[in-house]
Amino acid sequence: MTVFFAPLDDMYFAAVRLAGFSDITALPGGEELTEELLKTILEEGGKFAAGVLAPLNRAGDLQRSRLVQGVVHTPDGWSDAYRAFVDGGWNAVPFGTEHGGQGLPWLVATALQEMWHASNMAYALCPMLTQAVVEALSHHGSPEVKARFLPKLVSGEWTGTMNLTESQAGSDLAAIRTRAVREGDHYRISGQKIFITYGDHEMTENIIHLVLARLPDAPAGVKGISLFVVPKYLVGKDGKIGERNDLRCVSLEHKMGIHASPTAVMSYGENGGAYGLLVGEENKGLQYMFTTMNNARLAVGLEGVGVAERALQKAASFARERVQGRDATTDSPLPVTIIHHPDVRRMLLTMRCLTEASRALAYFAAAKLDIAKRHPDLTEQMRARSIVDLLIPVVKGWGSEVGSEVASLGVQVHGGMGYIEETGVAQFMRDAKIAEIYEGTNGIQANDLIGRKLTRDGGETARSFISEMQSLDWKPASSNENLTRLRTALTSGIAALNEATDWILARTVESRSDAASGAMNYLRLWGTVTGGWLMAKSALEATSDLRREVGNPKFLKAKVLTARFYGEHILPRAEGLKAAATAGAGTLMAMDNDAF
């Protein structure tokens, strides 16, 4: 198996030169955060990912988590790795110091999360879900709930889960049937939830479940959903663990990928009702859950970035070592490694530029999230929040699709060996697919983009962001062929996005069916173009450094060439995506249902 290494140079470049790290350090609480400290954090995180998590990835996929006599066992080494993760303080990175967190920006946490997902996605899902629980309780929990649960969730001593889905409801949360009945100062929860990531395991002494349920007198639909804290073991007001709660894992799903991650079917209240505490107010549960959505969807987009990076590293290593065929560009009769073949290089560069573009977009969104949370000026907060809200469906949807595309290309680079499980590259492809599905399928992300994020301000945020992309300073491009070609491609791509945006905005008023029919390709168009804009920024920054003779010239030249390749091979997709996004619903809806 190829040894994993965190791509520290590109991660640092994306954070500092593209995402606006200096803007984050200028925020309240960022006074002690420097570029040198960022480097140190990334280096230490890279060591942990490569030395502890990555070696468990393949073995975990083969061994899987198992449910044995009612107890979930994670793969060998999982518990030790988790203890090392907690002891290293990694779980506490982005959380408030008032509950024992380190108070570091989400931009820093995002870079670290990419490492966890790249080195071992199945493992990284556990702290990712705990993060979502901390976010929800930090915003909406009562002082008592926060005091009782947050310190150990923040540290990672306890893990957390999100219990939304039920078999009859799927993504339609209005149809959930799990019940909650008032009993003094608490509630009794009964029902069954499916697809609960790390719903049970042996790595920590307690698991804190956030459960959506409906009160007997609740309004119908999503307005009648409440949110409850339901611990695996009861927790006293003093924070000490008590008896086992009335809940259990009844089965584990047999999944296509992320085999080591236990995806549980959870049953609540088989013996009178599980003890639960209300979060916030009754009937506002779905509203509270949406507090976690931006962070959670950003994290899922990062899964795509992480798996893409892992697939790229393994494919590039294989291509440099695998000897097969003659070099078609010379007359030499000697066999060469396959990295000499133009089509293999095309695949590798496609993998590389998509990975770098999706990374840059995720980091850019994370930096805006920091500004939205911490900027002292309310106007700047709101401006950043509007950009975050616009981009999150794109980060999740496009980022996860990039993960699948890059992982698939990684299999292709390996040829027949890629189709053999022992090579390990098929795992990346299997693992990547789930990111397109959970935390709201990518179709749901696309509908969210056009139905809420684009239209709620009449397209003002989208048009403003498009204008920002159009205003990129291209002065260095006048005598540089790499930049000139990239500028031409990006200009065309932005124009396509602008035209599609006008069309979608008009059709959401005139024909919602037309708009919905184009939603997914419109989301892809946003990802393709914003990724291209950030790649152009990276090429301009790298060109500037080369002229000033600062930095690593090999790395910087590669940045420029990778960006040019993106312009020549990826940005041309924008015209096709625009055509598909604006085709309307006529053909799509014309066929009879029984003709499919």
In 3-state terms, what secondary structure has residue 255?
coil
**Secondary structure, 3-state, 62-84:** HHCCEEECCEEECCCCHHHHHHH
Burial of 484 (0-12, 13-18, 19+ CB in 10 A): middle
Give yes or no for a contact between 164 and 289, defined as CB atoms under 8 angstroms apart.
yes
Output phi, psi for 377, to 5 deg. -95, 120
Cα distance between residue 501 and residue 497, in whole Å: 6
166 is catalytic: no
Cβ-proximal residues to 223 (8 Å cutoff; 6+ apart), any chain: 283
**377: which residues sit within 8 A by CB, 6+ positions away?**
none
Angstrom distance (rounded) from CA 65 to CA 253:
10
Strands 186-197 and 179-183: antiparallel
Contact between 315 and 409 (Cβ < 8 Å): yes
- The structure tokens 């010379």 sit at 330
Q: Which residue matches tokens 């009769």? A: 333
What is the C-alpha radius of gyration for the chain, rounded to an integer number of angstroms?
A: 24
Kindly compute the dihedral angle of the four CA atoms of residues 268, 270, 276, 279, in this order, to the nearest 10 degrees: 40
Between the CA of residue 153 and those of 231, 245, 256, 568, what are the distances in Å?
12, 18, 29, 47
SS3 307: helix
> CA torsion 339→344→349→352, rounded to 10°?
-80
CB 198 within 8 Å of CB 215: no
DSSP state of 453: I
Q: How far is CA 189 from the centre of its chain?
A: 31
**Which amino acid, 139?**
H
Give me the count of residues in the chain.
Answer: 596
Q: Which long-range contacts (CB under 8 A, 24 or more apart) does 320-326 make?
A: 324/415
Residue 420 and residue 482: Cα distance in Å, rounded? 39
Q: Which of 309, 356, 439, 541 is catalytic?
A: 439
Q: Residue 265 in contact with residue 192, Cβ under 8 Å?
A: yes
Residues 6+ apart with CB under 8 A from 99: 138, 146, 150, 151, 154
Strands 335-337 and 225-231: unpaired
What residue type is assigned to position 227 of the chain?
Answer: L
CB 308 within 8 A of CB 354: yes
Per the DSSP assignment, residues forming a β-bridge with 207 are 159
Residues annotated as part of the active site: 439
